[in-house]
Structure formats: structure tokens, C-alpha cells
Structure 1
Amino acid sequence: MTILVVGASGATGSQLVEQLLIQKHKVKVIVRSPVKLPEAWNTNDNLQIISASLLELSDHEMSVIVSDCKAVASCLGHNMTFKGIYRQPRQLVTDATRRLCNAIKSKNLQNPIKFVLMNTTGNRNRDLNESISFAQKCVIGLLRLLLPPHVDNEKAADYLRTQIGQNNNSIEWVAVRPDGLINEDEVTNYEIHKSPTRSAIFNAGKVSRINVGHFMASLINDDNLWTTWKGQMPVIYSKLWVDKA
């Protein structure tokens, strides 16, 4: 299976790529600068590195890139610098999600493509009417005013929920919501829930980036797991932090 990963140079995106390569998939990545990529990627026959700025690709170029892909995964995020947070592109994740989905739909494929979006527990799944405390609502309201990346994450997931929906002939989707991300060297036990089991603001859990990459790769690789979560926004916690709840 050929899979496109965007945001592959990031800390979580690179873990996803590694997990897909372990599963012997063919992987394409779109990165602005290949310099930061692991050296081993340059000699891996199952990995194609496309050096480009994603949003600067033409519609035709993007359509060609996704033409042979059975799945697309986005681990895009904003750099946590002043420029990354407040300057353009302020809707990086949303615009990339929309353009990738449009590229997929343009192919008029017989079978739907899997689209996996990395999102955040700070974003509610409005299909489930998830309840949060008044205090958390206030904090989220401030985040919407002060941090454009939070709004970007919300809009990207909302695009999948409302524009792609549950019965699209070309695209099936899952938006994975990790809690606080940490670095670990190995995959450990983790748990998946339909909704957060703890406050993302006042009692956040943790999940390793490698666990997130493993779960996203498993969604793509395992059709039964995909059937369980498609059209949903599952929350992932490393088991250690579930036990501490």
C-alpha cells in the first residue's frame, strides 16, 4: 500500500513514517526541507521524498501525488515560535486538509481513500456534544482569541466532520486526538476512547509521539480497526497516564 504523509519532518510525523515503514508500506512524504530528515530515509527504497511546500503545489501536482495512494495522513502543525503561531499560513492544517481532500475527490476513485488527521484533545467532537466545564470553556475561548493554531485545528476537524461527512464516496476519515505529547523510544501500552476521560486543560494526560504514530499506522493498516473508528475523533492516552487519572 502506498501512503502519503504530510508533516513527516515533525516529531510525531516522523514516528508515523517509521511505523509505516516497519509495516513494509511504500510511503511518500512532502517536506519543505529534506535536510532535517533521518539519513536512513534517503536510502530507503520504500520511501519517496518530495521536496516542496505543500500549499504551494498546484492542484494538478497534488492530484498526481495522491493518485496511487490508498491512504493520506496529516501530522501537520505550527511551529511554536512567534512566526509559526501568528504569521501566515494561519490555516495551514485546514487548508492542507481541504486541498488534499479535493485532490483525492478529483480522481473519482472506485474505493474510498483513508484520511487520518492528527488533531488535539483541546478540540471537542461536536458530533458527540462532548461536555466540558465552564472554566475549560473560558480557557478554550481565550485560546481561540490568542492562538490561531488552536482555531486551525478546530477548523480542520470540522471540515472533515461537516464537508466530508460520514458517507463520502471518495474519502473516509479519522481525526486522532492525542493528549499532552511526550517523547519515548518505544511503543508502550495505550488506550483509545471516543471522548476525553480527563480535562485537556486542568488534568491533562500524556501520550508518547511514537504511540500516536503507531495508532495512526495501525488505523491505516488494519481494516477492522479502521471500521471501528472511521468518521470519529478518538482520543489516545499512554496507559501509564490512564492509570494516573
Structure 2
Amino acid sequence: MTTLVVGATGATGRLLVEQLLQRGEQVKAIVRTPGTFNEFITGHEGFSEIQAGVYDLTDEEMQQHVTGCDAVASCLGHQMSFKGVFGKPRLLVTDTVRRLCEAIQTTHAENPVKFVLMNTAGNSNHDLNEPISFAQQCVIGLLRLLVPPLSDNEKAADYLRTQIGQNHQAIEWAALRPDSLQNENEVTEYTLHSSPTRSAIFNPGQTSRINVAHFMAELVTNEKTWNQWKGQMPVIYNKEK
């Protein structure tokens, strides 16, 4: 199985690439700056690196890179700098998700391609009744106006939810929603939920990046896990000790 990873040089993307390679998968990564991975990744026979800015790819190049892939995983996000948060492109994630899905549809793959999106627990799944407090609605609304990446994440998930939907012939999808990302060295126990079990604003949980990468790799490689969560937006928390 071959997986194309975008956002592969980010803090979670690197871990996802490593998780997939450890499972014996073939991985293609689109990276703007080459030589940023560790020796395990760069020396692995199943790894190939595509030097490009994902936002700069032509439609034809995008189609070329998704051809032959069984899955596409996006850990793409905005850099945590003034330019990354407030500069262009404002819809980096949404536009990339849309273009990747459009490219997938041109390949006429024999089986539906899995699309796994890393999203955020601050985003609601509007296919479900996920009530949030009035206070949290106000804060989210303010953040949506002031912090463009939140709106981008919301629109990216909504594209999969509304434009790809539940019965698309070429694409199946899942959008993983972690809360308060942390750095850890090893995979630990974690829990999965159809909807948030706590407030992402007033009572956030914690999710380690390596656990996010582990579950994204599970979605790609484990059919039972995929069939359980496809078309959904699971929320992931580290298991509380």
C-alpha cells in the first residue's frame, strides 16, 4: 500500500511517515525543503521524497503524485509565526484538500482512496449533534475572525463532510480531531470518541503528536479501524492516568 503524505515535515507529519514505514508501507512525501527527515526515514527503501511546495503544484503534477496511491494523509497546517498565521494562503489546508480530492478523482483508481485529515477538537462535526456552551460559541466565533487557521481547518473538514460525503465512489475519508497537542517520545494509551467529551476552550484535554500519528497510521493500514471511523471525525485524547 502506498500513502502520499502532505505536511510531512511538520511535528506530527514526520511521526506519521515513520509510523507508516515501520508498518512496511510505501510512503511518498511532498516537502518544500529536502533532507529534513531522520536517517531511518531517508534510508528506508519504502520512502520517496517529492521536492515541491504543495500549494505551488500544478493540477497535472498533483494528479501525477496521487496516481497509484491507496491513501492520502494530510498533516498540513499553518506555521506558528505572524506570516504563517495571518499571511497568505489563508486557506492552505482547505485548498490543498480540495485539489488533492479533485486529483484523486481523475485517477479512476480501482478502489476508493482513503483520505485522512488531521484536524482539531475545536472544530465541530455538523453531521452530529455536538452542543457547545454559549460562552464557547462566542470564543470560537471570535477566534474564527481573528485567527485564520481555525476557519481553514473548519472549511477543510466541511469540504470532506459535504462535498465528498458518505457515498463517494472514488474517496473515503476520516478527519481526526486531537486536542492540545503535546510532544512525547513514545506511543501511549489513548481514547477515541465520536464527539468531544470536554470543552476544547475551557476544559481541554491533551493529545500527544505521536499518538495522533499512530492512529492516523492505524486508519490507513487497519481495515477494521477504517471501517469503524470512515466518514467520521473522531476525537482523540491521551488516556488519563
User: Which stretches in structure 1 are left out of the alignment for 5+ residues?
Assistant: none
Equivalent residues in 2 for 1:167-206, closer than 5 Å: 167-206=167-206
Instruction: Please tell me the root mean square deviation across aligned C-alpha atoms, in Å.
Output: 0.9
- What does the per-residue CA deviation read over 1:58-100, in whole Å, with 9 as the maximum and x for residues that have no partner? 1111111111100000000001110001111110000000000
Identity of aligned residues (%): 62
Matched letter for residue 184 of structure 1: E
- Paired with 1:171 and 1:9, the residues of 2 have a C-alpha distance of 25
Report the CA distance between 1:37 and its aligned residue: 2.3
Q: Residue in 2 aligned with 1:7?
A: 7
Deviation at 1:40, TM superposition (A): 3.4
Q: What is the number of equivalent residue pairs in this alignment?
A: 241
For 2:87 and 2:54, the matched residues in 1 are separated by 17
The CA deviation at 1:219 is: 0.6
Show CA shifts across 1:102-160 (max 9, x none).
Answer: 01001122210000000000000000021000000000000111000000000000000
| CA apart distance, 1:225 | 0.6
Greater shift in the superposed pair: 187-196 or 58-67: 58-67
What is the rounded CA distance, in whole Å, between the counterparts of 2:93 and 2:125 in structure 1? 17
Distance 2:105 2:212 in 1: 27
Question: Which piece of structure 1 moves more, 113-122 or 27-36?
Answer: 27-36
Gaps of 5+ in 2: none
Q: Secondary structure at the match of 2:196?
A: coil
Task: Give the 4+ runs in structure 1 shifted more than 4 A.
Answer: none
d(CA) in 1 for partners of 2:22 and 2:107?
A: 29
Q: Deviations over 1:196-229 (max 9, x none)?
A: 0000000000011000000000011110110000
Q: Give me the TM-score of the superposition, normalised by structure 2.
A: 0.98
1:78 counterpart residue number: 78
- Structure 1 position 38, deviation (Å): 2.0
SS in structure 2 of the partner of residue 192 of structure 1: strand
TM-score, normalisation: structure 1: 0.97
